[in-house]
Amino acid sequence: MRAARIVALVLAPLLVLAGPTRAGGVNFAWDACWSEGGALDKSFLCNTNQGAETAVGSFAPARDHADFLGTDITVDLYSRGTFPLPDWWEFINSGTCRRTALQASFDFAEAPQTACLDPWSRLALWQFSPYLIYNLPPSPPHGDAFLARIHLSAALQNGVPLAAGVEYDGFQLVISNTKTVGSDACEGCCGPLFLVFAQVRVFDQSGDAEYLSAALANQVISWQGGYGNCATPARNRTWGAIKSLYR
């Protein structure tokens, strides 16, 4: 139960520009902003090292920001398998199997921008903080072996205005398919996993920050249906149980 609590932390409010203003919050989806047709689940056959899978986070502030400068983002990954977090999902830290397979992007130039607007204009400077996994200090929340936590920060050199209730493109997590097959393949691609957009801190030039950690429409996305494409047994964790831990 404790791990599920960490994976469902944030379901922040989605706003379609033509619709009524809502309270602030976050959305999460595969391939596109949730409000522009993003997917709830990603199923991958784990049969190629080519290409990448992209998870897209968006947010709607609850109040206006005259000079938005950037964000601090928290995303939790939770494995449903009977094993600790698989090697395929261990990134960034020295000695991990797919150290360089996780990247971020703030380039939304090709997005339709019909429901989610781009505040970055390809000008964001970004970085990951240490990727928190069980077998390396510091450990993730509660020391849970089935959990990983991503910290991602992005900033602009010059502030831009954000309007309350409007949904903005937040970030893209780009997960390369490298080392999925072959002699140096990393285990665990076909196993079940949930990803949760747990929180975003929106800050501006005044130093005043707004924290968003509620779902607009969807905060939790699944990998391999959350149940897996392999014959590996899974823990009896349901979608609803994971979401309940973030309420």
pLDDT recorded at residue 175: 98
Separation in Å, CA 65 to CA 160, 200, 202: 8, 15, 9
User: What mean pLDDT comes out for the span 9-27?
Assistant: 48
Task: Show the domains of the chain with their CATH numbers.
Answer: 2-244 (2.60.40.680)
Tell me the C-alpha distance between 36 and 125, whole Å: 25
* 141 vs 89, residue with greater confidence: 89
The token duo for 195 is 């990803």
Nearest residue to 175 via CA among 112, 117, 92: 92
- Which H/E stretch holds residue 3? helix 2-7
- Which H/E stretch holds residue 158? strand 147-162
Tell me the C-alpha distance between 232 and 71, whole Å: 37
* 227 vs 162, residue with greater confidence: 162
Cβ burial, residue 128 (10 Å; 0-12/13-18/19+): middle
Please, are residues 50 and 177 in contact by the beta-carbon 8 Å criterion? yes
User: How many CB atoms neighbour CB 94 within 10 A?
Assistant: 6
The token duo for 88 is 């395929």
pLDDT digits (tens, 9 = 90+) for 25-54: 999 999 999 999 999 999 999 999 999 999
- Please state, rounded to an integer, the average pLDDT across all residues of the chain: 84
| Single pTM value for the model | 0.83
pLDDT recorded at residue 15: 27
User: What mean pLDDT comes out for the span 143-147?
Assistant: 74
